[in-house]
Amino acid sequence: MIDGGIYDQLAGGWARYATDNEWLIPHFEKMLYDNALLLGAVSDAYSLTRNEKYRKIIVQTMGFVEKDWLSPEGGFFAAYDADSEGVEGKYYVWDKDEIDKLLGADAEVFSAYYDITERGNWEHSNILHVNRKAIDVAIEFGLTEDAFLEKMDACKIILLKYRTQRVPPLLDDKLLLSWNAMMVQACCQTFAATGIEKYREMGVKAMEFIWSSFRQPDGFYHSFKNGQARPPAFLDDYACLVQALIHLHEVTADSSYLDKAREITEEVIRDFSELETGFFFFTPANRKDIIVRKKEVYDGATPSGNALMAVNLFYLGVVYDLAGWRNRGEKMLLSLEQAVIRYPGSFGVWAGFLQALIYGIPEIALIGPNFRDLHLDFLRIFTPLRVFQTASKPDNRYPLLANKPETSAPQFYLCKQYSCQKPVNEVDSLVALMKNV
């Protein structure tokens, strides 16, 4: 996907979907939620592999989001249309004559790498994509791989500058609560993987915007534009918001985010619950204009609100020692267990939750003064589902942080049902403990 036409090779960011098996031909519309979810996936890949290619994609795509979709208030716009001047993809595709004219002597090597031909690879035009290994093209043209990649970057700067003179696709400048919350989570994930402080700051500022603009006396609202928020928020909005708040605590160590997540979860339980099953309706009970309240459990282009709430309930149930919440999250999952096993592609979040429960969800606390370096080191490692809290000193408001000794240096506690092993003061030692549990 990173090498394909679905990814904008010049500016970063993914199109909405591809229409072929090679990821070459996209529907050129760019959506905030796609980019947020994919940034999370690439961040996980970078945490696992430390492959610099993934880091480069994170930086490029976050740069695109910041430049093109970051609103003056700190939130994120919804999308770019596929069309410009009434033609789908016109803004993004290239004729070989354009490439030759703009790149001159470097056009041949660029065209060899990005599959630029006279005939084109889509409707007589060319969608930039990588279909050969960089080292192979470099050798063909008598270059080292590093020199080749530097040349490609220089060429892309020239083309991107030229492309900005074209008529751009229409920007959809509304701000949606669930998609903004997904992007806040992506800011946290990209910060955790790379340590780039700007990403954490973007997430914090975006949450401040969400809280001030989407929050009204009667609850949260779904969409914000021209200073107005409407209509009332749906389950997915609340579920994504709770997840974003949980991630913000993990990267900032600010416990107020957890308290807000608990507050919102209580609202969801009050207003969206289907009492007979423990699942949640898509719309709140106080909506009088809804004839039939639907309930969605499938994970589609975006995770279902029910799947996210099951994970949220479990996580916050551990944080606050609320057995009813933990049990409800597990019960929701187990009632779908057979469907999840048979059709994991339709239940992605559920499948991840099921796997985590089977293997065990670690409870991790980092407690002590001057924890910044250890905190960043821990965030860089890939742990797909864990409960993680950080504080400068013990805090009896939260069971994982309670009844710990005050120390002169920060320490990690690995716990299971609040029973903790002997603390360690290095991430490698914590990882070793986790592997042996």
Per-residue pLDDT at 437: 67
Task: Check: CB of residue 332 under 8 Å from CB of residue 281.
Answer: no
Structure tokens at 25: 């031909």
Closest C-alpha among 236, 255, 261 to residue 180? 236
Closest C-alpha among 364, 361, 303 to residue 330? 361
Span 186-193, average pLDDT: 98
Per-residue pLDDT at 332: 98
How far is 80 from 57, CA to CA, in rounded Å?
A: 19
How far is 405 from 423, CA to CA, in rounded Å?
A: 11
The CATH classification number of 175-359 equals: 1.50.10.20
Q: Where are the domains of the chain?
A: 175-359, 363-436
Per-residue pLDDT at 290: 78
Per residue in 115-138, pLDDT (tens digit) is: 999 999 999 999 999 999 999 999
Residue 209 pLDDT greater than 90, yes or no: yes
How far is 380 from 59, CA to CA, in rounded Å?
A: 16
Per residue in 374-408, pLDDT (tens digit) is: 999 999 999 989 999 999 999 999 999 999 999 99
Task: Check: CB of residue 333 under 8 Å from CB of residue 383.
Answer: no
Q: Tell me, rounded to whole angstroms, the distance of Cα 298 from its chain centroid.
A: 19
How far is 23 from 89, CA to CA, in rounded Å?
A: 15
Distances (CA, A) of 100 to 97, 107, 118, 124, 164: 5, 5, 11, 16, 18
